[in-house]
Structure 1
Amino acid sequence: MSEWEFSLPLRVYIEDTDAGGIVFYVNYLKFMERARTEFMRQLGFGKDAIFNRDLMFVVRDVALHYHLPARLDDELLATAAIDKLGGASMTLRQTVRRGEDTLVSGTVTIACVVSGGVTPMRMPPEMRDALKQWSTDNK
């Protein structure tokens, strides 16, 4: 884990799993969404702060690689690190881990849009400045 990575501890509950007790593949996206949400909240941009600016973030692109399964009651860590920060979008490198094992890895690109629509808009300067501190582009 680098200084540029945010992490969120999670636990696997019964609703996250299939009949065999293994995490259903789409739930990893939910774990990653939670990590991105808490990352933004830590920077001072919780849902209220975002919605009050008449903007929202939408997923534009996802690429995931499934390495190992998570199981019922596992303790996991969902991570997020900014790889690329643009004026109206960012690409994050994300993982879901169990201890030292990476279970899922991938990238997620999110775009800033006008709330209630799909028209792109630039991120507010204070938001972009806060995100830049966590960007690998900042090195």
Structure 2
Amino acid sequence: MTLTALNTAATPTHSFPIRVYYEDTDAGGIVYYANYLKFAERARTEMLRDAGFHHTAMMAGDGIMMAVRRVSAEYLKPARLDDALDVTTSVKGLGAATIELDQSIQRGGQELCRVAVTIACVGRDGRPARLPATLRQALSTQIQS
């Protein structure tokens, strides 16, 4: 199977809800800093899935994988046990083999954490690979300035 999916109904900013569970927190009931990156990863995966691009299909059909090349996080306020969070993801730019995304983790509209991430497209051999044309086309319509 090759990449052919294109969801033209995709919105420029993808939103993904997450609940904070006990396993996400430290002894004080505050989300452990590394778990914000896990929340962001889940949201990125679901953004791609909602656009019609599944990691298993990309690997099986085209031998393409997505790997984090660079990430930075700014922690603004703590999330706590049982909080209902929303992770928004916006496409900021596309390179030959990369996708640049901005993500925001919020609680009730209040920003708790900002994440900037560059995702690299790599082949089975781990070397950089061009973004598939269908993925590029789907994401290019979503670029936020």
Normalised by the length of structure 2, the TM-score is: 0.88
- Whole-Å Cα distance in 2 between the matches of residues 80 and 105 of structure 1? 10
Judge conservation of contact 1:61–1:109 (CA < 8 Å) in 2: yes
Give the counterpart of 2:101 among 65, 81, 92.
92
- Whole-Å Cα distance in 1 between the matches of residues 28 and 99 of structure 2? 36
Runs in 1 of length 4+ with deviation above 2 angstroms? none
- Which letter does structure 2 place at the counterpart of 1:14? Y
- Whole-Å Cα distance in 1 between the matches of residues 86 and 122 of structure 2? 29
Number of equivalent positions? 134
- Whole-Å Cα distance in 1 between the matches of residues 18 and 81 of structure 2? 12
SS of residue matched to 1:81: strand
Q: Which residue in the other structure is 1:19 paired with?
A: 27
CA-to-partner distance for each residue in 1:29-76, whole Å, 9 max, x for gaps?
000000100000011101222112101011111111000000000000
Q: Which residue in the other structure is 1:64 paired with?
A: 73
- Whole-Å Cα distance in 2 between the matches of residues 119 and 6 of structure 1? 28
- Whole-Å Cα distance in 1 between the matches of residues 64 and 55 of structure 2? 10
- Whole-Å Cα distance in 1 between the matches of residues 78 and 33 of structure 2? 9
- Is 1:114 the equivalent of 2:106? no
Q: Which residue in the other structure is 2:50 paired with?
A: 42
Q: Mind listing any 5+ residue stretches in structure 1 that lack a counterpart?
A: none
How many percent of aligned residue pairs carry the same amino acid? Answer: 47
Judge conservation of contact 1:59–1:109 (CA < 8 Å) in 2: yes
Q: Mind listing any 5+ residue stretches in structure 2 that lack a counterpart?
A: 1-10
Q: Which residue in the other structure is 1:135 paired with?
A: 143
Query: How many angstroms does 1:136 deviate by?
Result: 2.1
Q: Which residue in the other structure is 1:10 paired with?
A: 18
- Which letter does structure 2 place at the counterpart of 1:13? Y
Say what the alpha-carbon RMSD is for the aligned residues.
Answer: 1.1
- Which letter does structure 2 place at the counterpart of 1:39? M
- Whole-Å Cα distance in 2 between the matches of residues 106 and 20 of structure 1? 23
- Is 1:80 the equivalent of 2:89? yes
